[in-house]
Structure 1
Amino acid sequence: MNSPTSGPPRTLKHLVLNIVVSIMILGGCLFGYTLLGERKRPARSKPNKPAATAVTTEALQRHQGPLSIGSNGVVVPLREIRLATEVAGRVVEQSENLRPGREVSKGETLIRLDAIEYELEVRRLAAQKTQEDAELAAADVAIENTAHLLRLAEEQVRLASAERIRADALVARQAASVAEVDVAKRAELTAKSALVELQNRERELIAQRTLILRKQALTEVASERAKLDLSRTTVTSPIDGRVVQSGVEEQSFIAAGTSFVTIEDTTAIEVRSNLTVDQMYWVWNSAAMANQFDQGNHGDRVPPVSATIQYRLGKRVYQWQAVLARIDGAGIDLDTRTYPCLLRVDSPANVVAVETDSAGDRSDNSSLPGNGVADGPRRLMRGMFVSVTLNVQPTRTLYRVNEVAIRPGNRIWLDVDGKLRVVPVEVISRMNDAVIVDADIDSALAMSTLPTSTMPTSTVTADQVAVIISPVSDPKDGMPVMTSGTTPRQAGRTPAGIADDASALDSEKAAG
């Protein structure tokens, strides 16, 4: 029996109808896919590749005039003097300028010590010298008196000797007794003894006089020393300078040898700048070096290359003139691998203010004399972080190119007789949008003038060489190029920006 909930049984008619409908649906899908899914691609024709790449060039210019080598530096004092008291004493007077930061002039009294003790010592030695003069005069008188007594004693000896001789003669004639002869001899001996005593006394007085003279010499030295100590109670400034450090106050006691002030010389000042080995190469191979020293015999000396010291404050740049003086030390600094050089500024107060615009370029007719600078530093001061520009006159040929012509890896592309030549360069200096480079142009010219089987030998000079400033896709040395024109220099574009432009152009060509 069938269950009351089950449906009616399927018939053959329904089965056939389901199969036919399914076949029709599948056929419609197949027909739609075949008719609408297939699309013919349009025919694309690849453009013919040009025989030469169009580039924009500029003429290769030789650099004329001095070469500017830029660096940074720190202002340091030319010399520092530490003054110390040479005598002890209490400070009774002090200069108002004996304060850090104030300027003192040469010969100005800095401190004055209590000089009573030293004045008394000078007076004591003067009195002692007077006493010794009196003793010397007394010794001279005693010597003179002894000389008179010596003459009398010598006469007495002569008379006593004559008396003895007469007594001996009388005894020989038996006219006198032996006792009378003894008396005469005794008188002669007494006279001779008195003479010897006077001679000894004279020698003693002469020795005493010599001793007094020696004492006078010592007193004279002590008097000079006392006067020197008295003069040292007043300490003056030996130079024109600025007080860096002061450690003394009025009414304080200072022992001998106490350092109380440090003064830096302001008549001249130095700027310490670290120059690289490449920069020192151009300094040592400058015209100033050839004029100052013999070639190959300069050692580690540097020529007097002129330089400009700049200190920027807002929109103004303050300038001083300097000269490269010496290398500070025995050679290359082990930490920085640079040459620590010192530049001397003989007139640190001679400042010139130059007005600049927002881009850092100088404005016209904006120089002001140093006496007219009232809104900035009037002189170079220690600790200033400044810019240093050395004005070197090179002895070899350098070239000036646009900044956009410098390719990654410090290379430039030259259009030499219709061919691209990749030339490595050394960037020496930058001037606005121009770059001063050292390049071996002769090698590029030699490669372009080599004879080939299809091209006759040509002669190309450096004046006929052009610098490629436009981007080139897939540049290769020797690829043919043609000049399409000259574009104005694009200041501010770097080699990295040029590489980005070339990459974008390659992407467009690949997508097209």
Structure 2
Amino acid sequence: MNLKRFFKMILSKTILNKRYIPFFIILIGFIGLVGLIRFKPTVIGDQSKYVPPLVETIKVENRDVQIMVKSQGEVIPRTEINLTSEVSGKIIWVSENFSSGGTFTKGDTLIKLDSRDYELALVTAESNLSQSKVALQREIAESNIAKQEWDKVSDGEASDLALRKPQLAQANAFFAASEATYEQAKRNLNRTSILAPFDGRVRKKNTDLGAIISPGIPLGMIYATDYVEVRLPIANVDLSFLDIPFDGTLIELNKQPQVELFSKIGNKIYEWSGKIIRSEAEIDPLSRMLSVVARVSEPYDRSINEIPLKVGLYVNANIFGKKFKNIYVVPRHVISNNNFIWTTNKEGILFQKQVEVLRTENDYAYINSGLNSSDEILITKLGFIINGMQIRTN
């Protein structure tokens, strides 16, 4: 009886008698297992041997680091005012430097007004002052004579009127008023020349030759150029890395952190050095961040700066923050979301270490605990990785 007839007979009996179905299934499975064992494919070589992946590692070393806090802001003048006149008059002369973008130094005459009326007023005030001075001297003499005459004719106490004290007081008052009028006239005459209050530049010019102006009318906008400032907002996570007070007070000169400002102009990046001089005392209501103020001295001095640091320029900033000792600097991508790092021992076995991340900057992370100087960390990204995994290094 061949195998085909055997199965046919078994199948027919199984169909006729359902009690044999379980035995038939077991028999089929047994025959299949025997066939797999007997006819299994021949293994060429030793393909079952595990080959550890080839990876790259680096040895970590601790060092001292200084945190760099990044920000950005707009260059603003330390002082900016409307240039105004304290007296009224007609403009008869305007300096060629008093134009948009023009420069000037402290004390330079920017505008002159017609001074003839003020010269006449000064002459009148000077005449009145001379008359009141003579009147005061005369009254002093008459008061002394009155006292002497009284002493000759009476031993009693004389009244103020008899001693001409009211007249003397009036003469003193007239003289003081005349003196004040003279000083005011002299000041008004001097004010017909409008002088620059500081070294600076003209942002905007609002008037010109021939205009009649009044006190308080803006003649132009000017700003100081001895130094400029940059308001730099600081993220909340970065505040603890700045070694400055945050109460708005001016920082002591020897404790002012250094700041490097830079901006791309054309195809070149330019840099300027400055200092952080204070923080602002309030949180910005829009950004919800606290800002610090950087100061750059002599921003237009070409002997110090390659190009001037002009008002209105938008700059990036690197602020020199706190210094930390014994910090491990590692590539940022080697740290998992739970602050684990894969390290390897001398036998090439991988294992995890949990670390404390002080800060991340650009492509690097600063580790202040969890690593040792002898550790080697895995920097190759693997698709599958577990504790105790064997690796190879190059």
Shorter-chain TM-score: what band?
Answer: 0.7 to 0.9
1:338 alignment counterpart: 289
Q: Which amino acid aligns with 1:313?
A: I
Alignment RMSD, CA only? Answer: 3.5
Query: What are the equivalent positions in structure 2 for 1:105-504 lying under 5 Å apart?
Result: 105-136=105-136, 138-139=138-139, 203=162, 205-284=164-243, 304-331=256-283, 333-349=284-300, 370=304, 373=306, 378-402=307-331, 405=334, 412-415=341-344, 418-421=349-352, 423=354, 425=357, 427-430=359-362, 435-438=364-367, 440-442=369-371, 462-476=372-386, 478-485=387-394
Give unmatched runs, 5+ long, in structure 2.
1-38
Residues of 2 paired with 1:205 and 1:337: CA distance?
73
C-alpha separation in 2, matches of 1:437 and 1:137 = 85
Cα distance, 1:233 vs. partner? 1.5
1:490 aligns with: none
CA 1:411/1:347 → structure 2, altered by over 3 Å: closer, same or farther?
farther
Q: State the SS of the aligned residue for 1:464.
A: coil
Deviation per CA, 1:381-404, whole angstroms, max 9, x where unpaired?
A: 122122211233422433222465
Confirm or deny: 8 A CA contact 2:160 2:166 kept in the other structure: no
Higher helix share: 1
Compute the displacement of 1:206 (Å). 4.8
Q: Give per-residue Cα distances to partners, 1:254-287, cap 9 Å, x unaligned.
A: 1112222222111111122222122222213xxx
Is the contact between residue 324 and residue 344 of structure 1 (CA under 8 Å) also seen in structure 2? yes
- Consecutive unaligned residues in structure 1, runs of 5 or more: 1-39, 156-198, 352-368, 443-461, 486-512
User: What amino acid maps onto 1:276 in structure 2?
Assistant: A
**Per-residue CA shift, 1:24-58, capped at 9, x if unaligned?**
xxxxxxxxxxxxxxxx9967799536386553201
Aligned to 1:93: 93
Structure 1 counterpart SS, 2:323: coil
Closer, same or farther: CA 133–391 of 1 in aligned 2, 3 Å: closer
2:100 partner SS: coil
Query: Following the alignment from structure 2 to structure 1, what is the Cα–Cα distance between the partners of residues 87 and 375?
Result: 78
Q: Matched residues in 2 for 1:79 and 1:411: separation?
A: 51
CA contact (8 A) 1:146 1:201 kept: no
Q: TM-score, normalised by structure 1?
A: 0.59
Shift of 1:213: 2.0
| Secondary structure of 2:391's aligned partner | strand
Conservation of the 8 A alpha-carbon contact between 1:401 and 1:437: yes
* TM-score between both structures, scaled by the size of structure 2: 0.74
8 Å Cα contact 1:414-1:423 kept in structure 2: no
1:126-185 alpha-carbon deviations (Å, 9 max, x no partner): 211222234345546666777898799x59xxxxxxxxxxxxxxxxxxxxxxxxxxxxxx
Paired residues for 1:64-79 under 5 Å? 64-79=64-79
SS at match of 1:72: strand
How far, CA to CA, are the matches of 1:299 and 1:244 in structure 2? 32
Q: Which of these two proteins has the greater Rg computed from alpha carbons? A: 1
2:10 maps to what in 1? none
Distance 1:411 1:251, change over 3 A: farther
Structure 1: which amino acid aligns with 2:191?
R
How far 1:227 sits from its partner (Å)?
A: 1.3
**Aligned-pair identity (%):** 21
Q: 1:61 to 1:383 in 2, by over 3 A?
A: farther
How much has 1:345 moved relative to structure 2?
Answer: 0.9
User: Distance between the aligned counterparts of 2:301 and 2:116, measured in 1?
Assistant: 46
Q: Which has the higher strand share?
A: 2
